[in-house]
Amino acid sequence: MIEPQGSVAAMASPEAEALAPPPDHRQLFFGMMQVALSAFGGGLSAWSQRIIVEERRWMDNTSFLTGLTVARLFPGPNQINMAVYIGARFQGLSGALAALAGMLLVPFSLLMLVGLAYFSFRSLPLVDRLLAGVVTAAAGLALSMGFKILHQYQRDPVALLLALATFVAMAVFHIRLIPVVLVAGPLAMAWYWPRGAAGPGVDR
Partner 1 sequence: MTDALLLVSTCTPKSLGDWANLLAVIRDFLSLSLFSLGGGNTLLSEYHHLSVSEYCWISSDQFADLYALAEAAPGPSSMLVGLLGMGAAWREGPGWALLSAVVAEIAILLPSTLLMVIAALSWNRFRDSPWRIAFERGLGPITLGILFAVGLKILHTADHGVPAYLVSIVVCLLTLRTKISPLWFMAIAGLLGGFGLINR
Residues in region 67-86 near partner 1 by CB under 8 A? 67, 70-81, 84-85
Answer for which of 11, 19, 20, 158 binds partner 1 (CB under 8 A) is 158
Smallest gap from residue 67 Cβ to partner 1 (A): 7
**Residue 55: how many CB atoms within 10 A of its CB?**
12
Q: What does the CA dihedral 49, 51, 52, 55 come to, rounded to 10 degrees?
A: 120
Angle of helix 177-191 relative to helix 157-171, nearest 10 degrees?
170
Instruction: List the helix and strand counts (H, then E) for the chain.
Output: 7, 0
Q: Quick one: 10 or 116, whose CB is closer to partner 1?
A: 116
Segment 110 to 149, residues that bind partner 1, using CB under 8 A:
110-112, 114-116, 118-119, 122, 126, 129-149
Segment 35 to 54, residues that bind partner 1, using CB under 8 A:
36, 39-42, 44
Q: Quick one: 50 or 72, whose CB is closer to partner 1?
A: 72
Candidates 12-20, 21-29, 52-60, 186-194: pick the segment binding partner 1 (CB under 8 A): 186-194
Amino acid in the structure at residue 140: G
Q: How many residues bind partner 1 (CB under 8 A)?
A: 99
- CA angle (123, 125, 126) in 5-degree steps: 115
Residues 6+ apart with CB under 8 A from 138: none
180 binds partner 1 (CB under 8 A): yes
177 binds partner 1 (CB under 8 A): yes
Smallest gap from residue 18 Cβ to partner 1 (A): 23
185 binds partner 1 (CB under 8 A): yes
* CA neighbor of 90 nearest in space, from 188, 21, 150, 10: 21
